[in-house]
Amino acid sequence: MHELKDSEFLTAKEKAIVLKQWKRFIENGLRFEDFTERLYKHLHLHCSFIAHFSRGGFYATYFENPEHTIRFLHQFDTGFGCKSIEYGGQWWIQGDYADINKAMCDTIDSYKADLYVKLSAKARENDIEKARSLLAKHGLSIATG
């Protein structure tokens, strides 16, 4: 369990709600219906992500393409140093929101192996489908193994 503290814009109770929503989002396979407005706001206000103008736009940017999702997850993966993927620094895990943001990293560490396997497999499937489509455009095909 993580000790969360009140900060200027989020109480400890609000941080606990965001963390619970984050965990549900991760556990349920990064579904849009689990990507709450509260979670979106925390990510763009306190985790060094730009707003992308809406929750839907943010979701489309990071969670519709598995390669982009892997890149997103790297920010929360301690094995990659928890560096901001948009700005490169670690200031997002310091200061008033370090408690919740480090807890979000700890959450990813518990699920990352399975997530990376699934996302890599989906990225591979997408690449193979793109290759088939391009080949078909030119009247060609290949067998895959």
Q: Which two tokens stand for residue 108?
A: 């990813």
- Distance CA(8)–CA(13), nearest Å, equals 13
Reported as a pLDDT band with limits 50, 70 and 90, residue 52 is confident
Output the pLDDT for position 53. 83
- Distance CA(52)–CA(32), nearest Å, equals 15
Is residue 145 predicted with pLDDT exceeding 80? no
Reported as a pLDDT band with limits 50, 70 and 90, residue 144 is low
Give this prediction's pTM: 0.91
Across 12-27, average pLDDT = 98
Cβ-proximal residues to 23 (8 Å cutoff; 6+ apart), any chain = 107
Q: What b/e sequence results for 87-110 when a residue is b if at least 16 CB atoms lie within 10 Å of its CB, and e otherwise?
A: eeeeebbeeebbbbbbbbbebbee
Provide the angle, in degrees to the nearest 10, between the axes of the packed helices 55-63 and 37-46.
80
Output the pLDDT for position 50. 84
For the stretch 89-131, pLDDT in tens is: 999 999 999 999 999 999 999 999 999 999 999 999 999 999 9
Q: Which two tokens stand for residue 28?
A: 């349920």
Question: Domain-by-domain residue ranges, the chain?
Answer: 12-112
